[in-house]
Amino acid sequence: MTDAVAQRTIDPIALRRAFGTFVTGVTVITTRDCDGNPRGMTANSFTSVSLDPPLLLVCVGKSASSFRAFNETQSFAVNFLHEAQADVASVFASKVASKFQSVNHDRAHTGAPVLTDSLTWFDCTVHNRVEAGDHIILIGQVQAFGTSPSAPLGFCRGRYASVKDPLPAGWLASQDMIIGYLVEAGNRVLLRADGKGGFVLPTARRRKADSKLVLDGGEALSLIPETTFVYSVFDIADSDPGYLIYRAELSHASAEAALPNGHAFFPVDALPYERIATSELRAMLRRYARERQDKRFGIYMDSGDGGRVAMIDGQSNSWTQAESE
Protein backbone atom coordinates (compact mmCIF):
# COMPACT_ATOMS: atom_id res chain seq x y z
CA MET A 1 0.00 0.00 0.00
CA THR A 2 1.50 3.35 -1.00
CA ASP A 3 1.48 6.47 1.16
CA ALA A 4 -0.09 4.53 4.03
CA VAL A 5 -0.65 6.60 7.16
CA ALA A 6 -1.46 5.23 10.59
CA GLN A 7 -5.07 5.99 11.50
CA ARG A 8 -4.15 7.86 14.68
CA THR A 9 -2.03 10.32 12.66
CA ILE A 10 -4.46 11.06 9.82
CA ASP A 11 -3.74 14.52 8.41
CA PRO A 12 -7.08 16.20 7.56
CA ILE A 13 -5.52 18.32 4.80
CA ALA A 14 -3.92 15.28 3.16
CA LEU A 15 -7.18 13.37 3.57
CA ARG A 16 -9.11 16.16 1.90
CA ARG A 17 -6.68 16.06 -1.02
CA ALA A 18 -7.08 12.28 -1.27
CA PHE A 19 -10.86 12.59 -1.29
CA GLY A 20 -10.47 15.24 -3.98
CA THR A 21 -8.95 12.76 -6.47
CA PHE A 22 -12.43 11.29 -6.96
CA VAL A 23 -13.90 13.00 -10.05
CA THR A 24 -17.36 14.41 -9.34
CA GLY A 25 -19.88 16.73 -10.85
CA VAL A 26 -20.65 20.10 -9.30
CA THR A 27 -24.03 20.86 -7.73
CA VAL A 28 -25.71 23.85 -6.21
CA ILE A 29 -28.12 22.83 -3.47
CA THR A 30 -30.91 25.30 -2.75
CA THR A 31 -33.73 25.80 -0.26
CA ARG A 32 -35.65 28.56 1.49
CA ASP A 33 -35.07 29.66 5.06
CA CYS A 34 -37.80 30.15 7.66
CA ASP A 35 -38.49 33.65 6.28
CA GLY A 36 -38.91 32.35 2.71
CA ASN A 37 -35.58 33.72 1.48
CA PRO A 38 -33.69 31.60 -1.10
CA ARG A 39 -30.48 30.03 0.24
CA GLY A 40 -27.91 28.02 -1.67
CA MET A 41 -24.39 26.62 -1.66
CA THR A 42 -22.06 24.69 -3.93
CA ALA A 43 -21.56 21.02 -3.10
CA ASN A 44 -20.02 18.00 -4.84
CA SER A 45 -20.97 15.39 -2.25
CA PHE A 46 -23.99 14.06 -4.16
CA THR A 47 -25.12 10.43 -4.46
CA SER A 48 -28.14 8.75 -5.98
CA VAL A 49 -29.60 6.39 -3.38
CA SER A 50 -32.73 4.62 -4.61
CA LEU A 51 -35.15 4.45 -7.54
CA ASP A 52 -38.09 3.08 -5.54
CA PRO A 53 -38.67 5.27 -3.66
CA PRO A 54 -36.67 7.89 -5.62
CA LEU A 55 -34.01 9.03 -3.16
CA LEU A 56 -30.77 11.01 -3.35
CA LEU A 57 -28.42 12.50 -0.78
CA VAL A 58 -26.15 15.48 -0.31
CA CYS A 59 -23.84 16.35 2.56
CA VAL A 60 -24.00 19.80 4.17
CA GLY A 61 -21.15 21.07 6.32
CA LYS A 62 -22.13 22.34 9.76
CA SER A 63 -19.83 25.34 9.26
CA ALA A 64 -21.68 26.48 6.12
CA SER A 65 -23.55 29.76 6.41
CA SER A 66 -26.65 28.06 4.96
CA PHE A 67 -26.45 25.07 7.32
CA ARG A 68 -29.31 26.17 9.56
CA ALA A 69 -31.64 26.64 6.59
CA PHE A 70 -30.86 23.14 5.26
CA ASN A 71 -31.03 21.59 8.72
CA GLU A 72 -34.53 22.98 9.32
CA THR A 73 -36.08 22.83 5.85
CA GLN A 74 -38.64 20.31 4.67
CA SER A 75 -37.65 20.63 1.00
CA PHE A 76 -34.61 21.41 -1.13
CA ALA A 77 -33.35 21.21 -4.71
CA VAL A 78 -30.15 19.78 -6.16
CA ASN A 79 -28.96 21.48 -9.35
CA PHE A 80 -26.20 19.91 -11.46
CA LEU A 81 -24.09 22.55 -13.23
CA HIS A 82 -23.03 22.37 -16.88
CA GLU A 83 -19.60 23.16 -18.27
CA ALA A 84 -20.38 26.86 -18.83
CA GLN A 85 -21.39 27.44 -15.20
CA ALA A 86 -18.06 27.53 -13.37
CA ASP A 87 -18.86 31.13 -12.45
CA VAL A 88 -22.15 30.01 -10.89
CA ALA A 89 -20.26 27.41 -8.85
CA SER A 90 -17.88 30.11 -7.61
CA VAL A 91 -20.71 32.48 -6.66
CA PHE A 92 -22.54 29.83 -4.64
CA ALA A 93 -19.28 28.73 -2.99
CA SER A 94 -18.84 32.29 -1.69
CA LYS A 95 -20.59 34.08 1.17
CA VAL A 96 -22.03 36.92 -0.93
CA ALA A 97 -25.64 37.77 -0.10
CA SER A 98 -26.80 38.28 -3.71
CA LYS A 99 -26.16 34.77 -5.05
CA PHE A 100 -29.57 34.37 -6.66
CA GLN A 101 -29.40 37.66 -8.55
CA SER A 102 -26.92 36.11 -11.00
CA VAL A 103 -29.02 33.06 -11.97
CA ASN A 104 -32.47 32.31 -13.34
CA HIS A 105 -34.51 30.34 -10.83
CA ASP A 106 -38.09 29.22 -10.41
CA ARG A 107 -40.38 26.99 -8.35
CA ALA A 108 -41.21 23.50 -9.63
CA HIS A 109 -42.98 21.38 -7.02
CA THR A 110 -41.93 22.01 -3.41
CA GLY A 111 -41.13 25.72 -3.67
CA ALA A 112 -37.37 25.25 -3.36
CA PRO A 113 -35.47 27.44 -5.86
CA VAL A 114 -34.67 25.48 -9.03
CA LEU A 115 -31.87 26.85 -11.23
CA THR A 116 -33.61 26.76 -14.61
CA ASP A 117 -30.40 26.98 -16.69
CA SER A 118 -28.70 24.03 -14.97
CA LEU A 119 -27.68 20.70 -16.51
CA THR A 120 -30.15 18.74 -14.35
CA TRP A 121 -32.31 19.57 -11.33
CA PHE A 122 -34.10 17.54 -8.67
CA ASP A 123 -36.82 19.04 -6.48
CA CYS A 124 -37.03 17.06 -3.23
CA THR A 125 -38.82 16.75 0.06
CA VAL A 126 -36.68 15.76 3.05
CA HIS A 127 -36.81 12.00 3.61
CA ASN A 128 -34.29 11.87 6.45
CA ARG A 129 -31.36 13.63 8.09
CA VAL A 130 -28.36 11.74 9.43
CA GLU A 131 -25.66 13.19 11.68
CA ALA A 132 -22.22 12.43 10.23
CA GLY A 133 -19.30 14.11 12.01
CA ASP A 134 -18.93 17.70 10.87
CA HIS A 135 -21.69 17.27 8.25
CA ILE A 136 -25.30 16.21 8.05
CA ILE A 137 -26.41 13.77 5.37
CA LEU A 138 -29.57 15.20 3.83
CA ILE A 139 -31.61 12.47 2.14
CA GLY A 140 -34.23 13.77 -0.26
CA GLN A 141 -37.17 12.12 -2.00
CA VAL A 142 -37.42 13.34 -5.58
CA GLN A 143 -40.76 14.96 -6.38
CA ALA A 144 -39.85 16.42 -9.79
CA PHE A 145 -36.79 16.67 -12.01
CA GLY A 146 -35.57 17.90 -15.37
CA THR A 147 -32.45 17.51 -17.48
CA SER A 148 -30.71 18.76 -20.62
CA PRO A 149 -28.10 17.46 -23.11
CA SER A 150 -25.37 19.92 -22.04
CA ALA A 151 -21.93 18.73 -20.95
CA PRO A 152 -21.48 18.49 -17.15
CA LEU A 153 -19.10 20.60 -15.10
CA GLY A 154 -16.57 18.26 -13.48
CA PHE A 155 -14.41 18.71 -10.40
CA CYS A 156 -11.18 16.95 -9.39
CA ARG A 157 -8.15 17.83 -7.21
CA GLY A 158 -9.64 21.16 -6.22
CA ARG A 159 -10.29 22.45 -9.72
CA TYR A 160 -12.85 22.19 -12.48
CA ALA A 161 -12.48 19.40 -15.03
CA SER A 162 -13.90 18.81 -18.52
CA VAL A 163 -15.89 15.75 -19.53
CA LYS A 164 -15.46 14.58 -23.12
CA ASP A 165 -18.32 13.18 -25.25
CA PRO A 166 -20.94 13.41 -22.52
CA LEU A 167 -24.02 12.67 -24.66
CA PRO A 168 -24.65 8.99 -25.54
CA ALA A 169 -26.48 8.21 -28.77
CA GLY A 170 -30.23 8.36 -28.34
CA TRP A 171 -30.20 10.63 -25.29
CA LEU A 172 -32.91 13.28 -25.49
CA ALA A 173 -32.98 16.81 -24.15
CA SER A 174 -36.28 16.00 -22.46
CA GLN A 175 -35.99 12.69 -20.73
CA ASP A 176 -39.31 13.35 -19.05
CA MET A 177 -41.20 13.12 -22.38
CA ILE A 178 -42.29 9.87 -24.02
CA ILE A 179 -42.14 10.10 -27.82
CA GLY A 180 -45.16 8.19 -29.13
CA TYR A 181 -46.32 7.50 -32.68
CA LEU A 182 -49.88 7.19 -33.92
CA VAL A 183 -49.00 5.07 -36.96
CA GLU A 184 -51.61 4.58 -39.69
CA ALA A 185 -51.74 1.89 -42.39
CA GLY A 186 -54.89 2.09 -44.46
CA ASN A 187 -57.78 2.08 -42.00
CA ARG A 188 -55.68 0.55 -39.25
CA VAL A 189 -53.65 1.88 -36.32
CA LEU A 190 -50.51 0.26 -34.89
CA LEU A 191 -50.48 -0.43 -31.13
CA ARG A 192 -47.94 -2.08 -28.85
CA ALA A 193 -48.66 -4.54 -26.02
CA ASP A 194 -47.61 -3.09 -22.65
CA GLY A 195 -46.86 -6.48 -21.06
CA LYS A 196 -49.75 -6.08 -18.63
CA GLY A 197 -52.61 -7.14 -20.88
CA GLY A 198 -53.12 -3.66 -22.31
CA PHE A 199 -51.95 -1.58 -25.25
CA VAL A 200 -50.04 1.68 -25.72
CA LEU A 201 -48.70 3.56 -28.72
CA PRO A 202 -45.36 2.55 -30.24
CA THR A 203 -42.57 4.69 -28.80
CA ALA A 204 -39.39 5.88 -30.43
CA ARG A 205 -35.98 7.14 -29.41
CA ARG A 206 -35.94 10.18 -31.67
CA ARG A 207 -38.19 13.19 -31.38
CA LYS A 208 -38.96 13.31 -35.10
CA ALA A 209 -38.70 10.47 -37.60
CA ASP A 210 -38.05 10.99 -41.30
CA SER A 211 -38.39 8.01 -43.63
CA LYS A 212 -37.38 5.58 -40.87
CA LEU A 213 -38.95 5.23 -37.45
CA VAL A 214 -36.60 3.43 -35.04
CA LEU A 215 -38.68 2.04 -32.19
CA ASP A 216 -37.45 1.75 -28.61
CA GLY A 217 -36.85 -1.96 -29.17
CA GLY A 218 -34.45 -1.21 -32.03
CA GLU A 219 -36.76 -2.27 -34.87
CA ALA A 220 -37.23 0.14 -37.78
CA LEU A 221 -40.40 0.96 -39.71
CA SER A 222 -40.52 2.80 -43.03
CA LEU A 223 -42.74 5.89 -43.06
CA ILE A 224 -44.01 8.29 -45.68
CA PRO A 225 -42.09 11.31 -44.30
CA GLU A 226 -44.34 14.08 -45.65
CA THR A 227 -47.31 12.69 -43.67
CA THR A 228 -45.63 12.89 -40.24
CA PHE A 229 -46.92 15.70 -38.01
CA VAL A 230 -47.16 16.58 -34.31
CA TYR A 231 -50.59 15.48 -33.12
CA SER A 232 -50.75 15.86 -29.35
CA VAL A 233 -48.67 17.10 -26.38
CA PHE A 234 -49.86 16.32 -22.87
CA ASP A 235 -48.94 15.25 -19.33
CA ILE A 236 -50.27 12.20 -17.51
CA ALA A 237 -49.56 13.37 -13.93
CA ASP A 238 -47.01 15.47 -12.06
CA SER A 239 -44.98 12.40 -11.18
CA ASP A 240 -45.14 10.71 -14.62
CA PRO A 241 -43.60 11.57 -17.98
CA GLY A 242 -45.48 13.63 -20.49
CA TYR A 243 -46.29 12.56 -24.05
CA LEU A 244 -45.28 14.03 -27.40
CA ILE A 245 -47.36 12.23 -30.03
CA TYR A 246 -46.74 12.26 -33.78
CA ARG A 247 -49.19 11.08 -36.43
CA ALA A 248 -47.48 9.09 -39.20
CA GLU A 249 -48.25 6.73 -42.09
CA LEU A 250 -46.45 3.49 -42.86
CA SER A 251 -44.95 3.00 -46.28
CA HIS A 252 -46.51 0.24 -48.38
CA ALA A 253 -43.48 -2.02 -47.77
CA SER A 254 -43.71 -1.75 -43.97
CA ALA A 255 -47.49 -2.17 -44.01
CA GLU A 256 -47.08 -5.53 -45.75
CA ALA A 257 -44.04 -6.70 -43.74
CA ALA A 258 -44.01 -8.67 -40.50
CA LEU A 259 -44.59 -6.46 -37.46
CA PRO A 260 -42.11 -6.14 -34.58
CA ASN A 261 -42.79 -8.43 -31.66
CA GLY A 262 -45.65 -7.22 -29.45
CA HIS A 263 -47.11 -4.86 -32.09
CA ALA A 264 -50.47 -5.31 -33.78
CA PHE A 265 -52.84 -3.44 -36.14
CA PHE A 266 -56.37 -2.54 -35.08
CA PRO A 267 -59.12 -1.11 -37.31
CA VAL A 268 -59.83 2.55 -36.54
CA ASP A 269 -63.48 1.76 -35.84
CA ALA A 270 -62.60 -1.15 -33.52
CA LEU A 271 -59.81 0.18 -31.31
CA PRO A 272 -59.52 -1.68 -27.95
CA TYR A 273 -60.27 1.37 -25.77
CA GLU A 274 -60.95 -0.77 -22.70
CA ARG A 275 -57.39 -2.10 -22.89
CA ILE A 276 -55.62 1.24 -23.44
CA ALA A 277 -53.27 1.97 -20.54
CA THR A 278 -54.42 5.47 -19.50
CA SER A 279 -57.49 7.66 -19.81
CA GLU A 280 -55.40 10.33 -21.58
CA LEU A 281 -54.35 7.90 -24.32
CA ARG A 282 -57.94 6.66 -24.65
CA ALA A 283 -59.21 10.22 -25.07
CA MET A 284 -56.51 10.97 -27.63
CA LEU A 285 -57.36 7.83 -29.68
CA ARG A 286 -61.10 8.60 -29.56
CA ARG A 287 -60.36 12.10 -30.88
CA TYR A 288 -58.17 10.64 -33.62
CA ALA A 289 -60.89 8.19 -34.72
CA ARG A 290 -63.46 11.00 -34.83
CA GLU A 291 -61.17 13.37 -36.73
CA ARG A 292 -60.11 10.66 -39.15
CA GLN A 293 -63.74 10.03 -40.01
CA ASP A 294 -64.20 13.75 -40.66
CA LYS A 295 -60.83 13.96 -42.47
CA ARG A 296 -60.04 17.06 -40.46
CA PHE A 297 -57.25 16.80 -37.90
CA GLY A 298 -56.19 19.05 -35.03
CA ILE A 299 -53.14 19.55 -32.84
CA TYR A 300 -53.82 19.17 -29.11
CA MET A 301 -51.79 21.04 -26.48
CA ASP A 302 -52.33 20.33 -22.78
CA SER A 303 -53.38 23.18 -20.47
CA GLY A 304 -54.79 23.58 -16.97
CA ASP A 305 -58.36 24.09 -18.18
CA GLY A 306 -58.57 20.94 -20.29
CA GLY A 307 -56.33 21.74 -23.24
CA ARG A 308 -56.49 23.48 -26.62
CA VAL A 309 -57.06 22.02 -30.08
CA ALA A 310 -55.96 23.88 -33.22
CA MET A 311 -57.77 22.45 -36.26
CA ILE A 312 -55.94 22.03 -39.56
CA ASP A 313 -57.83 22.09 -42.84
CA GLY A 314 -56.68 20.78 -46.19
CA GLN A 315 -53.81 18.59 -47.32
CA SER A 316 -50.17 19.17 -46.42
CA ASN A 317 -48.05 21.06 -48.95
CA SER A 318 -44.33 21.68 -49.16
CA TRP A 319 -43.16 25.04 -47.87
CA THR A 320 -42.00 26.17 -51.33
CA GLN A 321 -45.41 25.24 -52.78
CA ALA A 322 -47.22 27.11 -50.01
CA GLU A 323 -45.08 30.21 -50.61
CA SER A 324 -45.94 30.27 -54.33
CA GLU A 325 -49.69 30.03 -53.77
Number of domains in the chain: 2
- CA dist 274 and 277 (Å) reads 8
- Closest by CA to 201, choosing from 255, 256, 254, 264, is 264
Q: What is the mean pLDDT of residues 136-141?
A: 94
The last residue of a domain, from among 161, 190, 221: 161
- DSSP secondary-structure letter at 176? T
Residue 12 domain-assigned?
no
For residue 322, pLDDT beyond 50: no
Residue 244 domain-assigned?
yes
Kindly state whether residues 195 and 304 are assigned to the same domain: yes
Q: What percent of the chain has pLDDT over 70?
A: 82
CATH number at residue 220: 3.90.79.10
Predicted TM-score of the model (pTM)? 0.53
The average confidence (pLDDT) of the chain is 81
For residue 314, pLDDT beyond 50: yes
By mean pLDDT, which of 116-125, 236-245, 251-260, 282-291 is the weakest? Answer: 236-245
Residue 143 domain-assigned?
yes
Q: Looking at per-residue confidence, does 116 or 141 come out higher?
A: 141
The last residue of a domain, from among 161, 191, 206: 161
* Of the ranges 64-68, 202-206, 297-301, 312-316, the best mean pLDDT one: 64-68
- CA dist 133 and 2 (Å) reads 27
Q: How confident is the model at residue 108 (pLDDT cuts 50, 70, 90)?
A: confident
Residue 323 domain-assigned?
no
Which pLDDT score, from 0 to 100, does residue 174 have? 45
Q: Looking at per-residue confidence, does 178 or 52 come out higher?
A: 52
Q: Looking at per-residue confidence, does 112 or 150 come out higher?
A: 112
CA angle 168-208-219, nearest 5°?
Answer: 70
Q: Identify the domain containing residue 251 by its residue range.
A: 177-314
CATH number at residue 125: 2.30.110.10
- DSSP secondary-structure letter at 66? T
The last residue of a domain, from among 136, 161, 186: 161
Residue 172 domain-assigned?
no
Q: Give the bridge partners for 297, in sequence order.
A: 312
Kindly state whether residues 190 and 309 are assigned to the same domain: yes
Residue 63 domain-assigned?
yes
